[in-house]
Amino acid sequence: MLRSRLPALAATGLMTVTLASCGTVEVPAGPSATDPVCADILLAAPEQVLGMDRVETSSQGTAAWGHGEDAVVMRCGVTPPGPTTDLCTTLEDANGVQVDWVVRELEDDVFLYTTFGRDPAIDVSVPRSAAPDQPSGAALDLAQVVSRNIEATDYCVGPGDEEE
């Protein structure tokens, strides 16, 4: 079995993603992966992210693109983030679709993007090797799917946006 060390945030800390010899990415499902919205997200997920083809995953509510240590992994049904001191940013795709994401840099040069203000939440782990210049490209590739299927109920608050 070929192991890929793609850390992503799980309820108990970091997890590793495994690529089995058959090409299926084994990744734990999020706690709410059975939410019907997650099924809609997966059906609408693009065939390519960052120019990499979609590959099979082992768990409900998950999708992956690429192979080995370069695989980008999406999990639907993760716990929505609450108030945080982590970077929260609004990313806008080429069509003007905006999605707010909490961004964390994890071990092994992996970025974790988690939707903010949407329930169920989605996280996307992006190894720097898959997108050395713009890891946010994976989140941007998924903006249409997220915005069409999960309504925003809260937004990142940037400097100067605080209520008085």
Strand pairing partners for 74? 63, 124
Query: Which amino acid is located at 94 in the chain?
Result: A
Over 60: is that where the pLDDT of 1 sits? no
Q: What is the pLDDT of residues 79-136, one digit of tens each?
A: 999 999 999 999 999 999 999 999 999 988 999 999 999 999 999 999 999 999 999 9
What integer pLDDT is reported at residue 7 of this predicted model? 38
User: What is the torsion angle, in degrees rounded to the nearest 10, for the CA atoms of residue 140, residue 143, residue 63 and residue 60?
Assistant: 150
Q: How many CB atoms lie within 10 A of CB 33?
A: 19
Cα–Cα distance measured from residue 141 to residue 145, given in angstroms and rounded to the nearest whole number = 9
- What 3-state DSSP class applies to 30? coil
Nearest to 70 by CA among 28, 9, 132, 13: 132
